[in-house]
Amino acid sequence: MMKCLRDWMVLVLCGLAALCGTAAEPEREVRNYVLYYGPVDGEEAFRQLGEYDMIIIDPQALGAKAKEQIAGWKRLGRTVIGYLSCMEVASWHRYRDRADLTKILKLDGKPFQPFGDNLAMDLADPAWQDLVVELMQSEVIDYGCDGVFMDTLADVEHPDLPESLRQEQLRGMDELLAKIRKAYPELIMISNWTVEKTLPVAAKYVDMVCWENCNPAFFAADHPAVTFMRQVRDDFKREQARRPFRVLALWAVPADTEKPEAQRRAMTEKARELGYLNYSCYRDYHHGFLPLEQ
């Protein structure tokens, strides 16, 4: 009788997880994380990154040692997440030649380039959706990563996009994330800066949402961005009440910031107050990382 009851409970819990659309809870509780897109040279850098519970890296940037280093962190019991751009294609992406660049988004007949010379692909294009699903395997999973850090989906929020095109891209984003979740049900999915109109779509599928540029100064009552910051905070609370996902607060403190260490401490305190996991560094995410504070 007890065995039957246990089996029934397992079936119910599995069914609930499937209905939520997100992966099962990671086996290891994540208490902190680091995000670093550069190469990891030397044993000390490898050791310092390995002190974090969750390590977000770009397998392409790790070079020839990528699989070895990722396997090493996993032997330490760490959760390793691999970076993948899901909308933009850059000149340095090794899979650029696999993308059909005739399917890029255009505004007034010109290529839509949300950042630098990067091209924005059409999320509503089934061929691009299928390619991203394939890239999850070749660029992330095959390296041994536990999950994916999905960047550039926030291009859908770009103010230059006409609303009709934005709605089309939101539908495409929904289709894409559904395909990824179906293909890799156990993959930890983290979406970056999906904090406005993209949030209700992402929240149906992801395990974590990263709030990049979460500057604590923007929460000040007299700051021009305070209304936006409060709205994002409240939207997170609303969506989390419907579906379980965690929030990662992320900020690279600009080099010219006055009292940068004090700003980092302020962000840590704000993230703790809001219940977010927090990581901050200086300048950017390519030229170094900060060791875990004990």
Per the prediction, the chain carries an average pLDDT of 92
Q: Confidence band (pLDDT; 50, 70, 90) for 14?
A: very low
Distances (CA, A) of 101 to 111, 140, 149: 10, 22, 23
Assigned CATH topology for domain 32-282:
TIM Barrel (3.20.20)
pLDDT recorded at residue 21 = 53
- Residue 288 structure tokens: 């170094």
Please tell me which residue, 14 or 178, carries the higher pLDDT value.
178
Instruction: Compute the C-alpha angle 252/253/258, nearest 5°.
Output: 175
Burial class, 10, CB count within 10 angstroms (exposed 0-12 / middle 13-18 / buried 19+): exposed
Segment 54-68 shows an average pLDDT of: 98
Cβ atoms 112, 105 nearer than 8 A: yes
What are the pLDDT digits (tens) for 161-206? 999 999 999 999 999 999 999 999 999 999 999 999 999 999 999 9
Segment 61-66 shows an average pLDDT of: 97
What are the pLDDT digits (tens) for 209-263? 999 999 999 999 999 999 999 999 999 999 999 999 999 999 999 988 899 999 9
CA 66 to CA 57: how far, in whole Å? Answer: 10
Domain chopping of the chain, boundaries: 32-282
Please tell me which residue, 45 or 24, carries the higher pLDDT value.
45
Q: What percentage of the chain carries pLDDT values higher than 70?
A: 90
Q: Confidence band (pLDDT; 50, 70, 90) for 144?
A: very high
Q: Has residue 16 got a pLDDT over 60?
A: no
Burial class, 43, CB count within 10 angstroms (exposed 0-12 / middle 13-18 / buried 19+): exposed
Instruction: Compute the C-alpha angle 208/212/216, nearest 5°.
Output: 115
Segment 56-76 shows an average pLDDT of: 98
